[in-house]
């Protein structure tokens, strides 16, 4: 299917000029001289890119911009004018324009801007709105997709379009639950390596003593359980892309080995002498400040600069609430089809309730709540009652009322309430290792909290938890937690 380009200008000569410019491009052109006709085209044809003149007789291009962005927030709009006023440019960008160009046109620049605007729109092509939500097919709903058309996300899409084809290392920063792995996959999917391997490694989930082997492999006999040679992730995705999540959790020793790979694209397997040459693009992510980690001497400065050749920051959901209705719409349809229900959407009161929630867990929290609400919904519209208990779960867990004679039942109830909204996703993601993942995560959290409480004093921590110091030391090493 061809991409669609809408051009609105009251000057017929300009329309004919731009029609000639894009005649050889693989796009379907819609030429309009009237504002209302252009708005109607957006409603009916859903173009990918629109070129709008600001100075129009009946309705200004800025008014048209506001109207069509309300219809399709993902539409890439290029504003044009013969008047070089700063305020027009500011207003255009403020209301979501992709770019602002002045007449007379630099034809090559116009074509380049249009090409990038189209890339931006296609990167955001997964976004669907209520009017066209039925166009989403089952395949799209069954996969994790990244959506958003807020100004912050549009800037991210534009940047992806600029850097995806390069081999530059990328650092993605942002709070937990904002979709850093999905952004990494968007970069990969739009890169020249998209037909090669993509591998994701969570640096915090793998014990420190095994992470080196996981990344770089090992030779037979390198350590006690090394019964045969093992190929590491870097070798597995030679020619492709590796995503290192929670890079800030990596030890200084492994950081040094990673730095060498970034600089020379070479390494040795654990216990081996052979130098392995690879060609791998590295995308890393962190949910905390690496600048502070560098200051605290927990992260290498040279590695930090090597990783952030290109840097993205994913904002928390609270800072891009204009995307929340799109996300809600997508997740409701996704889970409705999964559970074979006919839920049409959420009520206005429910959406208002969701808009007011702080979303400390960001998109991951929203997704889990929509999952649970959809699963237990008895009607065809999600009402406030379907959400209120789910939205209050976190508050209820902050100060549990403890009954010392209950034998731990209060913790049982609290953990059930906390895990239930996310349990379906956990089972899908961790199939076959749910028990191991949940119990190890809980144990790590308990030890970290107890260490914080005791100012990293192991004697006090072991007494507080009721475990021996030897057990505590073993767990600190296993989970790569710091201790005195």
End-to-end CA distance of the chain: 62
Looking at the structure, give the CATH architecture of the domain made up of residues 320-398. Orthogonal Bundle (1.10)
Residues 8 and 68: their CA atoms lie apart, in Å, by 12
Q: Which fold has domain 430-478?
A: Arc Repressor Mutant, subunit A (1.10.10)
Q: Which fold has domain 151-313?
A: Rossmann fold (3.40.50)
290's enclosing H/E stretch is: helix 290-295
Q: Smallest Cα–Cα separation from 81: which of 5, 20, 9?
A: 9
In order along its 484 residues, the chain shows pLDDT tens digits of 689 999 999 999 999 999 999 988 888 999 999 999 999 999 999 999 999 998 888 888 899 999 998 888 778 899 988 765 556 666 777 777 888 888 888 888 899 889 888 887 776 654 333 333 444 455 555 456 777 777 788 788 778 877 888 899 999 999 999 999 999 998 998 889 999 999 999 998 888 778 998 999 988 888 777 788 888 999 999 999 999 999 999 999 999 999 999 999 999 998 888 999 999 999 999 998 999 999 999 999 999 999 999 999 999 999 999 889 989 988 999 899 888 898 989 999 999 999 999 999 999 999 999 999 998 888 889 999 889 878 875 433 444 444 545 555 667 777 777 787 777 767 766 777 888 888 888 898 889 888 877 777 787 788 888 888 888 888 888 888 866 5
Q: Smallest Cα–Cα separation from 50: which of 34, 31, 63, 36?
A: 31
| Lookup: tokens for 155 | 């800037």
pTM over cut 0.75 = no
Residues 166 and 160: their CA atoms lie apart, in Å, by 10
77's enclosing H/E stretch is: strand 76-81
* Cis, peptide link before residue 173, omega less than 30° from 0: no
Residues 157 and 421: their CA atoms lie apart, in Å, by 30
With 0-12 / 13-18 / 19 or more C-beta atoms within 10 angstroms meaning exposed / middle / buried, residue 426 is middle
Scan for tokens 């506001």, then name that residue.
Answer: 66
Q: Smallest Cα–Cα separation from 49: which of 1, 95, 116?
A: 116
* Cis, peptide link before residue 200, omega less than 30° from 0: no
Main-chain phi, psi angles of 201, to 5 degrees: -130, 125
Per DSSP, the three-state class of 353 is: helix
71's enclosing H/E stretch is: helix 61-71
Find the Cα–Cα–Cα–Cα dihedral 367, 373, 377, 380, rounded to 10°: -50
Instruction: Please determine whether the domains at 151-313 and 430-478 fall in the same fold group of CATH.
Output: no
Q: Smallest Cα–Cα separation from 264: which of 248, 276, 251?
A: 276
303 DSSP 8-state letter: H
Going from N- to C-terminal start, the domains of the chain cover 3-123, 151-313, 320-398, 430-478
Scan for tokens 């090394």, then name that residue.
Answer: 226
Length of the chain: 484
Pick the CATH number of 3-123 from 3.40.50.2300, 3.90.1150.10, 3.20.20.70, 3.40.50.10860: 3.40.50.2300
| Lookup: tokens for 176 | 């937990």
């Amino acid at each position: 299917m061809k991409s669609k380009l809408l051009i609105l200008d009251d000057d017929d000569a300009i329309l004919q000029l731009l029609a000639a410019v894009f005649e050889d491009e693989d796009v379907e052109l819609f030429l309009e001289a009237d504002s209302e006709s252009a708005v109607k085209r957006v409603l009916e044809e859903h173009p990918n890119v629109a070129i709008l003149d600001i100075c129009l007789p009946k309705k200004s291009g800025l008014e048209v911009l506001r109207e069509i962005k309300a219809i399709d927030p993902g539409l890439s709009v290029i504003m044009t004018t013969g008047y070089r006023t700063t305020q027009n440019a500011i207003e255009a960008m403020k209301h979501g324009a992709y770019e602002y160009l002045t007449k007379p046109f630099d034809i090559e620049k116009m074509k380049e801007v249009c090409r990038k605007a189209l890339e931006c729109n296609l990167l955001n092509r997964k976004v669907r709105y209520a009017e066209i939500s039925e166009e989403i097919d089952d395949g799209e709903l069954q996969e994790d997709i990244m959506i958003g058309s807020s100004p912050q996300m549009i800037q991210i899409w534009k940047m992806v379009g600029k850097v995806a084809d390069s081999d530059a290392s990328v650092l993605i920063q942002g709070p937990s639950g904002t979709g850093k792995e999905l952004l990494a996959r968007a970069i990969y999917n739009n890169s020249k390596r998209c037909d090669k391997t993509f591998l994701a490694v969570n640096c915090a989930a793998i014990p420190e003593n095994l992470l080196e082997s996981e990344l770089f492999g090992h030779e037979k006999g390198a350590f006690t359980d090394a019964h045969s040679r093992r190929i590491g992730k870097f070798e597995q995705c030679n020619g492709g892309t590796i995503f290192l999540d929670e890079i800030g959790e990596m030890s200084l020793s492994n950081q040094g080995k990673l730095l060498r790979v970034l600089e020379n694209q070479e390494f040795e397997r654990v216990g081996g002498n052979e130098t392995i040459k690879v060609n791998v693009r590295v995308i890393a992510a962190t949910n905390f400040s690496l600048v502070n980690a560098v200051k605290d001497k927990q992260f290498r400065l040279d590695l930090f600069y090597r990783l952030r050749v290109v840097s993205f920051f994913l904002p928390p959901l609270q800072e891009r609430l204009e995307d929340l209705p799109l996300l809600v719409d997508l997740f409701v349809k996704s889970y409705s089809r999964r559970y074979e229900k006919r839920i049409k959407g959420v009520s206005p009161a429910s959406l208002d309730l969701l808009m007011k929630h702080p979303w400390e867990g960001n998109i991951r929290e929203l997704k889990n709540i929509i999952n649970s609400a959809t699963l237990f919904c008895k009607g065809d519209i999600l009402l406030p009652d379907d959400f209120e208990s789910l939205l209050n779960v976190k508050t209820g867990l902050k100060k549990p009322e403890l009954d010392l004679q209950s034998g731990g039942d209060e913790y049982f109830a609290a953990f059930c309430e906390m895990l239930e909204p996310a349990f379906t996703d956990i089972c899908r993601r961790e199939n076959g290792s749910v028990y191991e993942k949940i119990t190890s995560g809980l144990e790590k959290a308990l030890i970290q909290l107890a260490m914080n409480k005791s100012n990293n004093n192991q004697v006090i921590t072991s007494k507080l938890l009721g475990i021996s110091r030897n057990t505590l030391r073993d767990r600190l090493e296993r989970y790569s937690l710091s201790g005195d």
